[in-house]
Structure 1
């Protein structure tokens, strides 16, 4: 039995589509919430077993683990330690954990939390005669459709503004990854236990690109001329901190601004070698998302 968390989420739905397209055989136990849209699950034609619950409840995690042979944990890195701990107790063979390249950030406060989570996972799996083999997948900035919280914001900015501020001339490097490519990667890792067990992979987009070029690609899709104004990182930080103070911490973009000044590009060569990871170009991915955005506007 395969246990999946986060299958109704942004990247999870693309993993589900891979399971459907490849006519996955076997029982799939899916953790969902009462408010989750499970229509794609219900009409998948797969052997789906839905369980409603909250991963914050350790007793719930213990209840869903018996009979499980493999885990695809997509939903929330912070649940990984309890997932792995319970998997070990139930002698689950494999656990594939979706984490984040945010662990590498020099600015993001949460990066230390990510490091703590992975350290805990490593400690658990180093136990003598541990029955569970763990694979960790670290996506970069995820985009793919208008429900993402990254590229969709850039697209809206280009659509609504003719002048856009960019930190430090937009020279920092990004390597956004399309959720469709992640869905394929998750499926391929699932089918490659020998090659991937016990390893950690960075899952990035096709190639590094400057942030200013990302905006230009989006502008080209809109067939518009956009003016970009460079803002020093120090000024951006000052404005973000001022907004945080004025709103009593309700609006806090300090770390987001800080990360705009650092490179966020990571090699996926190991993923390519071990399970054939081959992400689409950013131009293709943005074309898909801008089209979806415009179609949604027309519907409104």
Structure 2
């Protein structure tokens, strides 16, 4: 049986669509919230069992892993240690964990916890008694439709504004990955255990792109001319700190501003070599997302 967490989330829905497209024949158990929209699951035609529970509850995790052979953990990196520990105790054959390239951030508070989690998993799987093979997938900045928390915000801003501030001229590199490519990659890794067991892969977009160039591509999709004004990172951080103070801590963009000043581009060569990972270009991906935004906007007008 395949156990999946986060299947109703942003990338999880694309993974589910891959299962549907390939007519996956095995039994699937999905952990979902009671409030989640499960219509795609219900109409999938697949052998899916839905269960609800708390991923922080060791007893629930222990019970839900009965008869499970493979785990696809998409939901939240912070649950990975408990899931791996329980998988080992239950003799689960494989665990595929979706983590993040945020582990590489130069900012300690942005990466320290991710490193601690992966170190804990390494310790668990280094035990001679461990029979569970773990594969870690680390997506970069995820985009693809209006459910993403990254490019969708920039799309809305560029649609509404004629002038945008960019940190250090927007020259830092990013490598956004489309959620469609992730869904396909998750499915491929699921079906290529021999090549991928026990390994870790960075899943990034086709190639690095400057932040300002990514924003210009969005602006071009709107056929608008947006003016980008460079702001030194120190000024940007100061402004973020002021916003945090005046909002009594409710608006905290300090870390996000700091990360706008660091390069976030990572090679996916290992994924390409091992299981044929070939992501779409950002230009093509953002065209899809902007078109979806425009269509939704027109429907609401």
Answer whether TM exceeds 0.5 for this pair. Answer: yes
Query: Residue 155 of structure 1 aligns with which residue?
Result: 155
Q: Check whether the contact 1:80–1:97 (CA below 8 A) recurs between aligned residues.
A: yes
TM-score, with length taken from structure 2: 0.99
Determine helix, strand or coil for the equivalent of 1:4: strand
Give the aligned partner of residue 295 of structure 2: 295
Gaps of at least 5 residues in structure 1 are: none
SS in 1 for 2:138: strand
Distance of 1:202 and 1:162 partners within structure 2: 35
1:108 CA displacement: 5.7
2:237 alignment partner in structure 1: 237
Q: Is the 8 A contact 2:110 2:255 kept in 1?
A: no
In the alignment, is the contact (CA less than 8 A) between 1:102 and 1:108 conserved in 2?
A: no
Contact 2:168 2:232 in 1 (8 A): yes
Kindly report which structure 2 residues correspond to 1:251-270, keeping only aligned pairs within 5 A, or say none. Answer: 251-270=251-270
Runs of 4+ in structure 1 deviating by more than 2 angstroms, as ranges, are none
Helix, strand or coil for the counterpart of 1:72?
A: strand
What residue ranges of structure 2 are gaps of 5+ in the alignment? none
TM normalised by structure 1 equals 0.99
What is the aligned partner in structure 2 of residue 216 from structure 1?
A: 216
Q: Residue 196 of structure 2 aligns with which residue?
A: 196
Q: CA deviation at 1:140?
A: 0.2
Paired with 2:155 and 2:264, the residues of 1 have a C-alpha distance of 19
8 Å Cα contact 1:108-1:255 kept in structure 2: no
Q: CA RMSD in A?
A: 0.7
> For each residue in 1:55-106, what CA deviation from the matched residue of structure 2 results, as whole angstroms up to 9, or x when unmatched?
0112111110010000000000000000000000110000000000000001
The answer for the alignment partner of 2:86 in structure 1 is: 86
Separation in 1 of the partners of 2:280 and 2:108? 27
SS in structure 1 at match of 2:136: strand
Partner Cα distance (2:35, 2:63) in 1: 20
Query: Per the alignment, in what secondary structure is the counterpart of residue 264 of structure 1?
Result: coil
- The 3-state SS of whatever aligns with 2:10 is coil
Q: Matches of 1:6 and 1:58 in 2, distance apart?
A: 18
Match of 2:282 in 1: 282
**Alignment-derived partner of residue 131 in structure 1:** 131
* 1:223-251 CA distance string (max 9 Å, x none): 01010000000000000011111112111
